[in-house]
Structure formats: C-alpha cells, structure tokens
Amino acid sequence: MSSATLMASLAVLISLVFATLAAGAAGVRVELTRIHSGPGVTASQFVRDALRRDMLRHDARRLAASDDGTVSAPTRKNSPAGGEYLMTLAIGTPPVSYSAIADTGSDLIWTKCAPCSDHCFQQTAPLYNPASSTTFRVRSCSRSPSKCAAATPPPECACQYKETYGTGWTAGFLGSETFTFGSSPADQARVPGVTFGCSNASSDDFSTSAGLVGLGRGALSLVSQLGAGRFSYCLTPFQDARGTSTLFLGPSASFDGAGSTPFVASPAKPPRNTYYYLNLKGISLGTTALSIPPDAFSLNADGSGGLIIDSGTTITMLVDAAYRQVRAAILSLVTLPTKDGSESELDLCFALPSPTSAPPDMPSMTLHFDGADMVLPPESYMITYTDSSLWCLMMGSRRDGEMSTLGNYQQQNMHILYDVGQETLSFAPTKCSML
C-alpha cells in the first residue's frame, strides 16, 4: 500500500478514534515502566549497553536518511540491560496485555505475533495470536478488493513491512485491531481499527518488551492514529527501580506553569519527517553561558543537523562543537581526578574517593530553547556508579553537522507535553513518581 493510500484509509479511522477519545473527556492515562538492568549487570555495564544501543540507533538513522539504498540492521544477542521506558496496553478481543517501548523517534506500533519464526526474541508475556481475536483484520495492499475481502484473506493480500532500528529490526505484516488503553476499568478506552505491525520475525534486541509503540509524527504512529492532538509523559529517575512513569494521551495531557518552545518544521523526507525537532540556541552551566557556535544545532536545508527530542534514546548526544564546550566547563569546576570511563564507554569520568562518597556539588545545566529554558539538575546530566566509584557525564559527541539528540536521561523528572496541534513542546520540572 502506498503511503498516500494508507493515509487516506487512516483518515476515516482517525475521526472514529478521536470521537472515542473525546467520549472519555479526560483522555487516556498509561503507566510507563523503565527497563532496568538484568541480574548481575553493573551500573557501568548498563550505561555501556545503553550507549551502544544509542550509537547503533543513530547510525541506522543516518543511513536511512541517506541515499545509499539498503540499510543493514546491526544486532546484538542477549542484551542484559535496557534504558527505555515501557508502556502497557492490550490488543484484540479478548484483549491480550503486553508491554512495549514508548518511542517518540519512530512511527510503527508493533508486537510479536504467533506463530513466530526462529528469528524472534524471548518475552515473558504470551504472544498475541491474530487467529484468537474476533476483531483482527489484515491490512490489504492488494488491488483486488474482492479477493482480499474474506475474513481470512490469502497471504499475498497482506501489507508486508520491515522496520530497522539502532536496536535491531522487526518484520511482518500490517493488521487492524482493537487496542485497549488505561490501567484500570475507570480510565480504560477501547479503540477499534488501529493499524499495527504483526511481527513474525525480529532481532532479540528489545530487552523485556513485547514490541514498540511509535509516538512520532508519521501517519502510522499511535499519536496520529488516535488523533489525540497532544500527549505528555513524565519519566521517573533512572536510579528509581520501583517508580512508574505516566503517559497521557488526549485532553488529560495538560499542565500549568510550563515553559514552551515551538517545534522546528521537520524535513519532508523519511525518516526525518517523523522526528520532533527543537531549536536549541545555547547551553549554560550555572551562570556561565558556553561559547557554542550559534548555528551548532541548526537544521540545514538538506535535512542534516538539527536537534530532536527522543524518548527511545538514553544519552543526550551533542555535535562536537557544543560537546567540547560542555566537557571543558565541567572539567573547570571539578577538582577530582579524571578516570578512564571506557568500562561504561562514556567520555568524561571522575574518580570518587570511595563507592559511598557523594559527588561534589555542581550547578544546574540550562538548555536554552527558543522561548523557554530547560533546567537540568546535576543528577540529570551526571551519573554515579557506586560499583566502580565513577562519576560521569551522561552526554556524548556527534560529528559537527550531524543530528543531535535530547535523550531520556536528561528528561527524567520532567513533565513533557507534545502539543501536535499547536506545534509546541512544553516542559516543567516535576516529581514524576507523584503523578
């Protein structure tokens, strides 16, 4: 099915879905849980694993945005740790619950389906089986409607897909299903006709999740299909192994006292058209404005550069001209000896006197966006490893001219609202576990 045809067919569904959300008045509230390290995984191993995923994710994006043609899918086996946030939802009739990575950097909603080939990762939740649901329908790409109108159309009718991420890949066919959102009967919403990917082959790089929920700007994302207009989330701190975060969809995605910055218009060419670009004008550490070139984060006419906000990436990556300034500013304030951070693959680390030593006091870091400042406390840009007495900067470097990314480590304890209708991002410091 062409993207134009698919978007046309989705238009009818979106009006129905929006009516469903509107009937709920307050919208939908969904809990998010962060994927934590597996047994025996040290903090430094966890960050190293997250950084490698981020690097692969960036490389896959760069290749997909180029004109090089085929994009390979780098994968790794048995990843022991994760840095993503999971949302729980249910699919089908009767509904089958599953947890999926909430990702503002992609579009497709997908889950692993039965039967699954040998190329599938392990999951604890039961596989969704389309044959067991009374509301499942195949999304047809065929130009023979009569042939594909049957309840069980032949395999050649289905729209096939293959999606590549930095964390791996998934392949299967598109279907239509009823999705159930909300953690309790009082706030649940059942939405029919949601297009999703039924995966029968994938790499095993999605940790404990059973799939992924794209929250990007494209037609197939959950946000677009719900016609929600806006959504928000509040991510609990990385070191909090028990707290749950919250994703709000629709009218409930609203709060007062927030700073607001407009989105930068995304390039028209996939995959960049799905990203949420922001205009980052500068960075300060305490009261000191860093000497970053004014065009360091500019989105270029050819679609290169720019800065996006991404819930599916862990560590913030800045173009080198900006990163060097951040690094130098931190070095000028810290008197601790530097230490090799290669164990965690972070560039700037300091040696604490002992595993129980508190790190030195540091000023807040301020990201100066167009119209609003995002203030990051030290624990949102530095990380302490009690297992190795390391204290490291949770940021990395990209080549100048490449795309920068605001990762979820820097978004922790920040209520963030994406107003797609108004084309703005709002944010306010919040104790997210209290929402």
Q: What are φ and ψ of residue 225, in 5° steps? A: -70, -35
Through-space distance between the first and last CA atoms of the chain, rounded to whole angstroms: 41
Residue 107's nearest CA partner among 232, 311, 275 is 275
Is 204 an annotated catalytic residue? no
Q: Are 376 and 412 in contact (CB under 8 A)?
A: no
Cα–Cα distance, 421 to 435 (Å, whole number): 24
Pairing of strands 307-309, 160-165: unpaired
Q: What are φ and ψ of residue 64, in 5° steps? A: -65, -30
Is 118 an annotated catalytic residue? no
Q: Give the active site residue among 54, 103, 107, 419.
A: 103
- How much is the CA Rg of the chain, to the nearest whole Å? 22
Q: Give the active site residue among 49, 54, 205, 310.
A: 310
Q: Are 423 and 262 in contact (CB under 8 A)?
A: yes
Residue type (1 letter), 161: Y
Cα–Cα distance, 234 to 244 (Å, whole number): 9
- Number of Cβ within 10 Å of residue 349's Cβ equals 24
In three-state secondary structure terms, 321 is: helix
Q: What are φ and ψ of residue 113, in 5° steps? A: -115, 150
Residue type (1 letter), 406: L
Cα–Cα distance, 149 to 135 (Å, whole number): 15
Cα–Cα distance, 435 to 431 (Å, whole number): 7
In three-state secondary structure terms, 55 is: helix
Q: What are φ and ψ of residue 293, in 5° steps? A: -55, 140
- Number of Cβ within 10 Å of residue 3's Cβ equals 11
Could you say which DSSP state residue 238 is in?
T
Residues involved in catalysis: 103, 310
